[in-house]
Chains A and B, each alone.
Chain A
Amino acid sequence: MAVEQDEIERIAELARIRIAAGEMGQVTRRIAQILHLVEQLQAVDTSTVEPMANPLDATGRLRPDAVTEDDCRTAFQAIAPAVENGLYLVPKVID
């Protein structure tokens, strides 16, 4: 599967990573090489194989639905780039 530059532009947008126009060609070539490397997977018949998400085939454990965490808001917000009155600040989203 060859990958085109406009596809990498779309993926970069999905991943929210800006790529400078001058670097797009090089990035596309590198990604294409990696996708070529993983292409061998397609040659294997896996029609009867269950996908494996966890190497021990473990599933998530349940616990009682009870509060276990303390209120850490002050500690967490102390390391944020911008906060005010207990809120995280971002550029204006709605005019």
Chain B
Amino acid sequence: MHDKTVAELAQGLRDRQFTSVELTRSFLDRIAALDNRYNSFIGVDEAAALSDAQAADQRLAAGDATALTGIPVAHKDIFCTAGMRTSCGSRMLDNFVPPYDATLIRRFRRAGAVLLGKTNMDEFAMGSSNETSYYGAVRNPWNTDLVPGGSSGGSAAAVAALLAPAATGTDTGGSIRQPAAFCGITGLKPTYGRVSRLGMVAFASSLDQAGPMAHSARDCAVLLNTMAGHDSGDATSSEMPVPDYTVTLDQPLRGLRIGLPQEYFGEGLDVATGARIDAALRELEAQGAMVSEVSLPHSHLTIPAYYVIAPAEASTNLARFDGVRYGYRCPDPVDLHDLYTRTREQGFGDEVKRRILVGTYALSAGYYEAYYKKAQQVRRLIKQDFMRCFEQVDVIAGPTTPGPAFALGAKSDDPIAMYLEDVYTLAVNLAGLPGMSVPAGLVDGSPVGLQLIGRHFDEARLLNVAHRFQQATDWHRRRPADVEGAQ
């Protein structure tokens, strides 16, 4: 049961092969038995999950089911869940039980999905290895000595280890795509504004976006159908109509123009990873796509622009954690200043503090123009590069990451080395574009991902390309050798 796609599980539920309660129980049992290896979940409420499942079974029996009714879905612990702790991977929110549901959670509930549990993540989504979590590092199911990627590393590992059929993540600079690549699953970061951010703990508000993580493009399409749409509670959520992302999945690729940014295939790309990407592109060509080289000339400024803008926005967003209204409060504060400064010293981890300090610096008097304004100008140049490319091509493709997953601890003491891991994913967030990672093969037994980047609101096209690729390849069906119960 646990190695089926969302679409297959939905069919099984409708055909009464099993009930949602049975399905949910089987995933809960796997989590209880196996997750000590991966540490992919922070919170599981078995009784609540089974109660969701019972309600779903009633809906199924009444013939009132959606494509997700009765399907267990794991959610990154960044989405507020009413009555269930939402920690964001931080000591600061270790005691935080939200009084409301994020819009994304509400949408899944409305569809009848089962809330299977809350997944581990880098603290406040700041990290590329899932090592900054207050709840400990997540391990990669393909090799538990390796990182799963981050920041949505718990979601990626849970799906890869068959502890959840699908999950949600968030992506501010690659946090869905990079762990999806490292864990051999399919992940989509939608266009900025496609999915509501209400109730999603804010990191960098002009970059953050939630998206689906699953075994296949088809499953991502099914999830996105439920997630996407306007929300009056999020002023940045888009009013663009939402198509049914499943109906265009099978469209032929004949005539599709794919651009390869020369900057994504140069120095820094692991040779074996590059070979997997080349092979994937040949498969797309075999289906009639036309591949040509394009250029994103400001690519070298992506990391500098991102590491001004993201910390600046983070420093502002995280100012709310003050030990007064909710979350952690330091013991025995002597005065208000002591309450603020020690609460934040003790409640935040090192990487979060570092980014707050960099952001505060970039926004402080005398530096605003040189750092923040400058980065916003460069951000426009980076977006313009993409817009020019999309005059010539329909989709941009390249590697998701410079190489396969690295060892736990290998980069955790070197923030700069960690930042460089996101060299191919950050620009997509700066430009607000949709981006996807699709399993494209193995390098020394570890998965690597093909990244697909589309025009604004062209998620359907990315899902179509990924689906066609998955019809012709089986990389997305490969399972880690030591994951029990894999087919």
Contact = CB atoms under 8 A, between A and B. Distances in A.
Q: Chain A at the B interface: mostly helix, strand, loop or mixed?
A: loop
Contacts of A17: 341, 344-345, 348, 353, 356-357
Going nearest first, the 10 A-B pairs with the smallest beta carbon separation are A55-B432, A51-B376, A46-B377, A81-B329, A18-B341, A18-B345, A52-B380, A75-B99, A49-B377, A16-B340
B232 A63 contact: yes
A41 B375 contact: yes
Interface residues of A, number: 52
A16 B232 contact: no
B326 A79 contact: yes
Given A18-B341, A58-B193, A58-B236, A38 B357 contact: no
B340 A35 contact: no
A89 B340 CA distance: 13
20 contacts: A1-B370, A11-B360, A17-B356, A17-B357, A19-B345, A19-B353, A27-B357, A34-B354, A40-B304, A44-B298, A46-B381, A50-B377, A51-B379, A52-B383, A54-B432, A55-B430, A55-B431, A56-B192, A61-B235, A79-B98
A6 to B, nearest CB: 13
Interface stretch (B218-226, B260-268, B331-339, B393-401): B331-339
A79 to B, nearest CB: 5
A54 B340 CA distance: 31
Interface residues on B, range: 35 or more
Which interface residue of A27, A41, A92 has the most chain B CB atoms within 10 A?
A41
Contacts of A11: 357, 360-361, 364
A37 B99 contact: no
A37 B307 contact: yes
Q: Chain B at the A interface: mostly helix, strand, loop or mixed?
A: helix
B128 interface: no
Interface string B346-389: 00100001101110110010000011011111111101000000
Interface of A: 1, 3, 7-8, 11-12, 14-20, 27, 30-31, 33-35, 37-42, 44, 46, 49-56, 58, 60-61, 63, 72, 75-76, 78-82, 88, 90-93
B364 A46 contact: no
Given A11-B364, A31-B361, A44-B381, A37 B416 contact: yes
Contacts of B337: 16
Given A80-B325, A93-B336, A31 B358 contact: yes
Nearest to B380: A52
